[in-house]
């Protein structure tokens, strides 16, 4: 089998991590490499386990996305799923994940078992909090199925559907750029991109949406004016697509942000073509210590964990 290579790439989540704490980025992107192998060096194995931990909010969002993904894929092939079936599936997944995490199965099988941050770091989270997380996730799924938007999707021609949670890539500034569109479809000459949100409405995800637009222009060979982007807040009782304006200025802002982010990451490489990082001390700790208590890599962090 070919040897896996740690190829340099950029994504919105990677950029946010780099900006938040370079040392965290170093553990996640470099120390953890190869840690999926049980025989990997101790630090790599631990880093790989820790990088895959999810806090309860991320877990809620990922599970909702997964259930909606499966429902849409079934709908695409003419096998619609009822809302109660989807919620039952969500409950089953979350129950299995929770019990496996509490038993720390992820320590032995990090690729197969979900690990929750709250369990690894023994956070005092009571059953009512966990139930609330499940109920919020179930509400998101129910709201989606009850929405006029879902009725529209169910009745339209599925031949116009382009992507459902597919991890895609394109090239920019000599780097591989990863994007994952929750859903995309073609309507006449227009490409429509949808992004499910499971949290409260907040500032627009400008760079993320800009990257989606860049991908769509390259993938489907359409001009910017033929692309529409929508945010769908599933926490709303009636989640309706909310259009995120696209413009040449947004595209320029996105490209500038990506260029600066890629440059900063490459400055910490000893060998850019081979994606070999400089030594650990070049990756600075965050100055904002409030991030640290919620960091997956807290127990590996020499600066803070060693104080305990």
Is pLDDT at 306 greater than 60 in this prediction?
A: no
Segment 88-110 shows an average pLDDT of: 96
The owner of tokens 């909310």 is 242
Segment 211-220 shows an average pLDDT of: 97
Is pLDDT at 230 greater than 70 in this prediction?
A: yes
What is the structure's pLDDT at 164?
97
The pTM of this model reads 0.93
Confidence of residue 304 (pLDDT cuts 50, 70, 90): low
What 3-state DSSP class applies to 85? helix
Q: Which residue has the higher pLDDT, 221 or 199?
A: 221
The pair phi, psi for residue 196, each rounded to 5°, is -75, 140
Q: What is the DSSP letter of 3?
A: P
What is the structure's pLDDT at 81?
95
Q: For the chain, how long is the longest CA-to-CA vector?
A: 60
Is pLDDT at 1 greater than 70 in this prediction?
A: no
38 contacts 284 by C-beta, under 8 angstroms = no
Show contacts of 70-76: CB within 8 Å, 24+ apart. 71/145, 72/153, 72/161, 72/164, 72/183, 73/164, 75/153, 75/154, 75/158, 76/158, 76/161, 76/164
Distance CA 281, CA 47 (A): 17
Is pLDDT at 30 greater than 70 in this prediction?
A: yes
What is the structure's pLDDT at 203?
65
Segment 272-292 shows an average pLDDT of: 92
Give 70: exposed, middle or buried? Use CB within 10 Å, 0-12, 13-18, 19+. middle
What is the structure's pLDDT at 290?
84
Q: What angle do CA 144, 149, 155 make, to 5 degrees?
A: 115
Is pLDDT at 31 greater than 80 in this prediction?
A: yes
What is the structure's pLDDT at 307?
53
What is the structure's pLDDT at 57?
96
Segment 146-152 shows an average pLDDT of: 96
Percent of the chain residues topping a pLDDT of 70:
96
Q: Which of 138-147, 206-215, 252-261, 295-304 has the lowest mean pLDDT?
A: 295-304
Confidence of residue 2 (pLDDT cuts 50, 70, 90): low
163 contacts 181 by C-beta, under 8 angstroms = yes
What is the structure's pLDDT at 88?
98
Segment 248-277 shows an average pLDDT of: 97
263 token code pair = 């440059």
Q: Which residue has the higher pLDDT, 109 or 288?
A: 109
Confidence of residue 138 (pLDDT cuts 50, 70, 90): very high
Domains recognised in the chain with CATH numbers:
22-153 (no CATH), 157-265 (3.90.320.10)
What 3-state DSSP class applies to 167? strand
277 contacts 267 by C-beta, under 8 angstroms = no
pLDDT in tens, 150-206: 999 999 999 999 999 999 999 999 999 999 999 999 999 999 999 999 988 766 668
Segment 212-228 shows an average pLDDT of: 97
Q: Which residues pair with 168 in a beta bridge?
A: 179
Q: What is the DSSP letter of 262?
A: H
């Amino acid at each position: 089998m070919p040897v896996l290579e740690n190829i340099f790439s950029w994504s919105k989540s990677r950029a946010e991590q780099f900006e938040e704490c370079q040392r965290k980025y170093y553990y996640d992107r470099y120390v953890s490499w190869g840690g999926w192998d049980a025989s990997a060096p101790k630090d790599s194995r631990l880093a790989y386990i820790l990088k895959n931990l999810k806090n309860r909010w991320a877990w809620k969002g990922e599970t909702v996305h997964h259930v909606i993904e499966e429902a849409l894929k079934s709908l695409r092939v003419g096998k619609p799923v009822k809302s109660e079936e989807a919620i039952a599936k969500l409950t089953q997944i979350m129950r299995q994940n929770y019990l496996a995490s509490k038993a720390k199965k992820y320590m032995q099988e990090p690729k197969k078992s979900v690990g929750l941050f709250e369990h690894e770091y023994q956070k005092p989270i009571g059953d009512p909090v966990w139930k609330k997380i499940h109920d919020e996730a179930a509400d998101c799924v129910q709201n989606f199925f009850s929405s006029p938007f879902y009725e529209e999707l169910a009745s339209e021609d599925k031949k116009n559907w382009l992507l459902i949670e597919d991890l895609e890539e394109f090239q920019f500034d000599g780097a591989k750029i990863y994007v994952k569109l929750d859903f995309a479809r073609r309507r006449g000459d227009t490409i429509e991109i949808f992004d499910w949100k499971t949290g409260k409405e907040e500032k627009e995800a400008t760079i993320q949406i800009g990257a989606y637009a860049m991908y769509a222009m390259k993938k489907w060979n359409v001009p910017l004016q033929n692309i529409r982007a929508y945010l769908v807040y599933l926490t709303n009782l009636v989640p309706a697509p909310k259009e995120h304006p696209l413009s040449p200025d947004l595209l320029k802002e996105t490209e500038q942000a990506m260029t600066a982010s890629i440059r900063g990451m490459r400055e910490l490489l000893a060998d850019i073509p081979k994606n070999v990082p400089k030594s650990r001390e070049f990756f600075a700790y965050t100055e904002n210590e409030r991030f640290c208590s919620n960091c997956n890599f807290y127990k590996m962090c020499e600066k803070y964990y060693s104080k305990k």
